């Protein structure tokens, strides 16, 4: 679950844990607020599996200023310590501010693992997080797999909507409970129509892109 997310983000760019977390939280917004207590263990698992590895931080992964020869005593000291660490074979670099960083990069094996995890159809329909995550990386999926993902998700939501309506019928008279259930079904309906738009756009895209190979 988290592995897929990490690999997907590292596919774009080498990153250290802290930044990785920020990207993930930003990307997945609402759902799935990943914590350090899950991130670092997951990175450890991936590292043990040779799916990611620590790279020497060539700094400026994003748009960082090119470290203008410090000018501060503290920074000099940190730089010294960093050199000492490097001499000991540790691939860490002090960021501008903050503790020394360990920058991770994805490996070839990690690329393959990413493909496998992303393609796993079973995991992606019922669980909201799993689906959202896979949609976020949907551009790495072939057209048919992407469409399949959307349609399987839609089917799951329709079933969920059904269950919701049944619950609503069976529910008691408590105002708050009913309101919760009602709102739940509304959200599901909204989700389904959103998926419908996505599916339509997807079909349109593939239709226009294969006008040289007709039926």
CA distance 16 to 20: 6
Partner whose footprint covers residue 156, from DNA, its own copies, none (CB < 5 to 8 Å by kind) = none
> Is residue 95 part of the contact set for DNA (CB under 7 A)?
yes
CA distance 164 to 14: 43
Segment interacting with DNA (CB under 7 A) among 14-22, 112-120, 141-149, 158-166: 14-22
Place of tokens 């931080």: 57
Is 6 or 149 the residue whose CB approaches DNA more closely?
6
E runs forming strands in the chain = 15-16, 52-55, 93-94, 100-101, 103-106
Which of positions 45-84 make contact with DNA (CB under 7 A)? 45, 70, 72, 74-75, 77-78, 81
**Under the rule (CB under 8 A), what is the footprint of its own copies?**
26-31, 132, 135-139, 160, 163-164, 167, 170-171, 174-177, 179-181, 183-188, 190-191, 194, 198
List C-alpha distances in Å: 17 to 11, 65, 102. 14, 20, 7
Is 102 or 154 the residue whose CB approaches DNA more closely?
102
């Amino acid at each position: 679950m988290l592995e897929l997310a990490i690999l997907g983000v590292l596919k774009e760019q080498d990153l250290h844990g802290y930044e990785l977390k920020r990207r993930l939280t930003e990307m997945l917004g609402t759902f799935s607020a990943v914590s350090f207590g899950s991130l670092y263990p997951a990175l450890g698992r991936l590292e043990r599996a040779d799916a990611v590895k620590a790279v020497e931080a060539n700094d400026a992964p994003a748009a960082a200023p090119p470290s203008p020869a410090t000018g501060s005593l503290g920074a000099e000291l940190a730089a010294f310590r960093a050199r000492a660490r490097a001499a000991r074979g540790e691939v860490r670099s002090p960021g501008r501010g903050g503790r020394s960083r360990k920058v991770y990069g994805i490996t070839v094996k990690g690329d393959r693992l990413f493909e496998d995890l992303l393609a796993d159809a079973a995991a992606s329909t019922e669980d909201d997080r799993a689906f959202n995550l896979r949609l976020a990386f949907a551009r790495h999926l072939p057209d048919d797999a992407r469409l399949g993902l959307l349609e399987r998700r839609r089917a799951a939501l329709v079933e969920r909507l059904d269950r919701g309506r049944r619950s609503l019928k069976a529910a008691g008279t408590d105002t708050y409970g009913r309101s919760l259930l009602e709102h739940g079904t509304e959200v599901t309906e909204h989700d389904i129509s959103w998926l419908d738009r996505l599916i339509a756009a997807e079909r349109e895209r593939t239709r226009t892109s294969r006008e040289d190979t007709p039926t």
